[in-house]
Amino acid sequence: MIRFRGGMAAIVARRGLRSFPLDPLLTAAFVALVTLGLIMVASSSVAIADRVYGDPLHFFWRQSAAAAIGLLLGYGVLRTPLKVWERLGVPLLAVAVVLLLLVLIPGIGREVNGSMRWIDLGPVNLQSSEPAKLCVIAYLAGYLVRQGDRVRTSFGGFIAPIMVVTVVAGLLLLEPDYGGAVVLFATTLGMLFLGGVPFTRFFAWMLAAGAVLGSLALHSPYRMQRLTSFMDPWQDPYNSGFQLTQALIAFGRGEWLGVGLGASVQKLFYLPEAHTDFVFAVLAEEFGLVGSALVILLYAFVIWRAFLIANVAEQGGRLYAAYLAYGIGLILGLQAFLNMGVNMGELPTKGLTLPLVSYGSNSMVMCCLAVALLIRVELENRGARSRSLPEVGMSYVA
């Protein structure tokens, strides 16, 4: 069937990206997660914020400011062509390494709860691992484009990015940030696999990475304590297993539909880190199984959408855009999976936030930038398709 569209194809082709709105489905999921995150930060932190700062909404205002900054910077990302990020791959990697080195220097890095993860910038603190992860993904995407054939056919091409990420992960472990190192290493292996690395080589290195990270956990006293308390938190419910048992109580109280927004009891100084690492447990208590399942579906949709956008870019020959989207989908999905697994007692405590939902200014800003990059990839995908449309006012529909 032939359908006439009066020259719209030519108009779209000439105007390019300016005539295209943002990806409506991805944008809607992003807005839903950010909105839910702000609501849950306000609800889960009201007691501790009132006690410590005298303002029940202290953390909510700070998280809202971080979301506003993230949206503002995300707008700049949307207006920046991906070829700019591709050219900046190596400098971005250097920035990541410098940030991770600076945080380890006494007087520059700030220690909180035994970890040197923040650079003191006066009114704000920069958590170096957050921008570092995004910088490494941008570098790896460019490396896979430049050295794609070597990565797929030779050991040297495959081992080079592994060594780079090993250095970055080693700096993360010195903070220590074991969870961040695990997520970054897993994301790297996933990107290399999607870049065409043979399954046997990928699987061998996955086992090697798992063995190294596992040995580090076993030889570190506090990580070993986390592992043992995870396996049986009820053995010591008032000490090493306290955090996990309180999270499980929150899930149990939530039942099917939850106790209602704001009615959580566990956030009242029973569950430690209720507004950061364990916000999903408070969400489960207040919204129940149904609410928790909907949040999981939102994350699943964002990951599915990221991989779909990456696949379209790959089929169109835009490999940097494809690998970048794959990397963003992997790191968001892995971090969400690990955080929710920890909250539900299925994984050892890692100290990872739930993307776009947990309190954390640095995490919120970087997640906004990551999603903005995804939307930019989708915009350029549609722009490439519009340029391939016929210039005459006739188009065909099967």
Tell me: the pLDDT tens digits for 59-111? 999 999 999 999 999 999 999 999 999 999 999 999 999 999 999 988 888 87
Residue 216 has pLDDT above 70, yes or no: no
CA 34 to chain centre: 13
Prediction pTM value: 0.88
The mean pLDDT value for 332-356 works out to 91
CA-based end-to-end distance of the chain? 6
Average pLDDT, the chain: 86
Q: Tell me, what's the pLDDT at 197? A: 83
Contact assessment for residue 259 and residue 230, using Cβ atoms and an 8 Å cutoff: no
Q: Tell me, what's the pLDDT at 227? A: 62
* Residues 98-147 pLDDT 10s: 999 999 988 888 877 667 888 888 778 889 999 999 999 999 999 999 99
Query: Which of 133, 182, 192 is CA-nearest to residue 159?
Result: 192
